């Protein structure tokens, strides 16, 4: 159905803290196949929220890198692709997965609220949050799961 909305990707740059990369909202829309029906401000706010949450989680990592003389995430990482460090790639994956998890509820239309869809929505959200957590663990040098002696 025609809604009269402009469905082009939003060229909005989300400024980060200088260590972590700035993020382009259109990259999030493309990389995570976001529906053009979702309001651009809602998308932006979800990415900003994910950035804040993940930056807080990675604060000690950032401090360690800076104390070692590495002032940006683009200078970290063991490999790079097209001059983008693996650290930046992993960071973006973590942020975009977390942001999409926050938006999962926006994919469900009002007309289709059955229990199966609700369960599927919860599973998708859990999978996206797990993906984000795995990516953060990679940056912290941790394996997928860990055991600690209490």
C-alpha dihedral sign at 129, 130, 131, 134: positive
pLDDT tens digit string along 80-97?
Answer: 899 999 999 999 999 999
Secondary element (H or E) of residue 23: strand 23-24
- For 141, other C-beta atoms within 10 Å of its C-beta total 7
- For 125, other C-beta atoms within 10 Å of its C-beta total 16
pTM for this entry: 0.84
Q: 116 pLDDT band (50/70/90 cuts)? A: low
Domain ranges of the chain: 13-139
pLDDT above 60 (res 68): yes
pLDDT recorded at residue 78 = 80
Q: In a 10 Å sphere around its CB, with 0-12 CB exposed, 13-18 middle and 19+ buried, how is residue 21 labelled?
A: buried
């Amino acid at each position: 159905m025609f809604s009269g909305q402009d469905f082009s990707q939003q060229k909005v740059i989300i400024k980060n803290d200088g260590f972590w990369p700035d993020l382009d909202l259109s990259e999030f829309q493309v990389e995570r196949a976001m529906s053009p029906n979702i309001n651009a401000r809602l998308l932006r706010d979800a990415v900003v929220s994910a950035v804040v949450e993940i930056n807080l989680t990675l604060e000690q990592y950032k401090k360690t890198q800076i104390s070692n003389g590495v002032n940006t995430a683009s200078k970290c990482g063991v490999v790079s692709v097209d001059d983008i460090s693996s650290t930046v790639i992993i960071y973006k994956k973590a942020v975009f997965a977390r942001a999409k998890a926050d938006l999962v509820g926006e994919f469900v239309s009002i007309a289709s609220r059955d229990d199966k869809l609700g369960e599927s929505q919860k599973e998708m959200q859990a999978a996206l949050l797990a993906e984000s957590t795995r990516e953060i663990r990679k940056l912290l040098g941790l394996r997928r799961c860990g055991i600690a002696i209490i």
